[in-house]
Structure 1
C-alpha cells in the first residue's frame, strides 16, 4: 500500500470509510455484510462504491491461515477547504496482515471499564465505519493497564452505545439485548449477523443497566465474542463480577460459527 499524499481528504479531514475483514485461507468472512456497510457509507458520503473486483483484488495475496484485510476508501484529493472537489477520484488503499485472535479471552472472559468520554450524536453517520475515529482514540487513552481489555462508551445523553472497537451484548431477565445504534456508533458486521440469527432486542439503556444483567459480552468480526468477567467504573473500581460459564456459550457459539472459530465448552 503506497503512501498517502498530504492533500488526500481522508488524511486531512477523515473524509472516507474503512473496513477490517477477517480472512481465512483467502476467503473473506462476513464479506457481504462488509460490502453492504461500505455501500451504505458511500451513499451517505456521496462517493462511488469501487467495483467488487477492485475490493477483492488484495485477497489473491492472502495465504493459508488467518489474516486481516484493512480497506481504506477516501474521497481522494481536491476541493478548496471543506468544499467537495468538482470531479471525484476516490482513492482505495489496503493492507493485509497475519492475525491471531485472543483465544484465552474466549474461555476466561475479560475485564472492561466505563469511559469518561461521551460520543457525539450524529444520526446521519450512525452505524458507519468512517475515518473520523478521534473519539475512540481519546477513549482508549483513558487506561493503560494491560488487564483491562476494553472501555465502554455512552453517547452525550448517557445511553450505552459500544466499546471502543467492539459492540455490546447482554442478557437481562433472560432476554438478549444490544444498544440501539441510530444516533452514533459502529454497526459491526458480527452484530448484524447475530441480529439475524438470534432473538436480540435493540434497546436504549443507561450504563447502570449492566450492573443488573446476567451475562455481558463484547464482540467484533475479528475477535469473535468475549464474555465479560469484570466491569469497572471509569476510575478502575469494580462494579460487578460474573462467573464465565455455560450461560455465555450459546451466543458465543453463534458468533464463532459465523467466523469459523471453535465453540468453547464450559
Structure 2
C-alpha cells in the first residue's frame, strides 16, 4: 500500500472521482505534530468511505524513509485513494487502496500571528451531507470555488456558510470566536472539515460547538481562524461578500489566550499581548 510520491495511474478512483482521503501534517524535527488526532480522523474517514486503513507500520515508516525529515519544520501530505477498479461509480470490492505522500519544507506566516488578518465572506454555500461531514475527503471543489472569489493578497481567508446560512469554516481553516466570555466554534455535523487543531483544542478547553449564522459574530469579542499547520490567526476585520465594510476587532489579550493554547500544542512561539499600533483593521 505504501508508494511514496509515485504518480497515480489514470484509472485511480481518487483522481477520477475524489474517492479518497488526505491529511496535511506539520512535522517538527522529524516528528509529526498532533499525529494521534490525524490518525483518528483518517481512521474515521476510512470507516465512513469503507476504505482500508493503512497499517501502522506503513504510516510510521514514512518518517524513517524521507531524508527531508531532517528539515526542522516541514509539511507532510498523505493521500489515500480507493485505488483502481470497479465499473463506473461502483467501487471495487475489496479495494486495493493506494497511499501516497510528499514532504515539503515549511515556514508559517508569523506576521499574521502578530498583526492579525482581514478576511471576507464568500458567496458560495457549502452543501449539506452529514455522511461526509468532518472528514477530509478528496472532493474539495467547493473550497476551490470559494477561494477563487478573491485575488487580493490582503484578504487572508474566506468565511463559508452552509446552504441554510449556518457558519461552518473558512476555505482551509476552522473558525472560533468568543461571545459573552464563552469560546464557541461551529458544529460540524452537516458539512465542513473537523481540523485536528480544532479537535485538540476541544479536548482541552471549554469550547462549545454551536449552530449559528453570521449575525452571531456581531456579538463576538474576538474571532480566530486556525489549523494544525498555520496555527491561529486573530481576525481583525471581516468584510462583506463584495469585499467592503463588515465587522472589525482590535487585538487584545483575549486573542492571545486561545492563540497561545494552540501554539503550545504545535510548538510555535507564544505571542505577546499587542502593543499600540500592532494592527489597524
CA–CA separation in structure 2 for the residues paired with 1:121 and 1:86: 28
Q: Does 1:10 align with 2:26?
A: no
1:49-198 superposed matches below 5 A: 49-60=53-64, 61=66, 62-198=69-205
Task: Output the CA distance in 2 between the equivalents of 1:211 and 1:245.
Answer: 17
Structure-1 separation of matches of 2:157 and 2:89: 34
1:146-193 C-alpha deviation (Å, 9 max, x unpaired): 000000000010000000000000001111000000000000000000
Q: Is the 8 A contact 2:71 2:105 kept in 1?
A: no
Which consecutive unaligned segments of at least 5 residues does structure 1 have? none
Measure, in 2, the Cα distance between the counterparts of 1:263 and 1:52. Answer: 33
Matches of 1:49 and 1:196 in 2, distance apart?
24
Compute the RMSD of aligned alpha carbons.
0.7
Contact 1:126 1:181 in 2 (8 A): yes
CA-CA distance at 1:87 after TM superposition: 3.2
The equivalent of 1:41 in structure 2 is: 45
Q: How many residues align?
A: 266
* 8 Å CA contact 1:117, 1:153 repeated in 2: yes
Equivalents in 2 of 1:236, 1:35: separation in Å?
Answer: 37
Aligned to 1:193, the other structure's residue is in SS state helix
Unaligned segments of structure 2, at least 5 residues: 274-281
1:212 shift after superposition: 2.2
Residue 217 of structure 1 corresponds to which residue in structure 2? 224
In structure 2, how many angstroms separate the alpha carbons of the residues matched to 1:5 and 1:188? 29
Measure, in 2, the Cα distance between the counterparts of 1:56 and 1:119. 34
Native 8 Å contact 1:58 1:96 kept in 2: no
Q: Equivalent residue of 2:224, what SS?
A: strand
For 2:62 and 2:207, how far apart are their aligned partners in 1? Answer: 34
The structure 1 segments of at least 4 consecutive aligned residues displaced by more than 4 Å after TM superposition are none
Q: Give the TM-score normalised by structure 1.
A: 0.99
Other structure's SS at 2:101 match: strand
Determine if contact 1:112/1:150 at 8 Å carries over to the other structure.
Answer: yes
Contact 1:211 1:239 in 2 (8 A): no
Q: For residue 246 of structure 2, give the secondary structure of its aligned residue in structure 1.
A: strand
State the Cα distance separating 1:245 from its structure 2 match: 2.2
Kindly state the Cα deviation for residue 211 of structure 1 after the two structures are TM-superposed: 2.3
Name which of structure 1's ranges 14-23 and 210-219 shifts more when overlaid on structure 2.
210-219
CA displacement, residues 41-96 of structure 1 (integer Å, 9 cap, x when unaligned): 00111111011121122222211310000000000000000011133110000000
Give, in whole Å, the separation in 2 of the partners of 1:57 and 1:101. Answer: 26
Q: How far, CA to CA, are the matches of 1:124 and 1:90 in structure 2?
A: 20
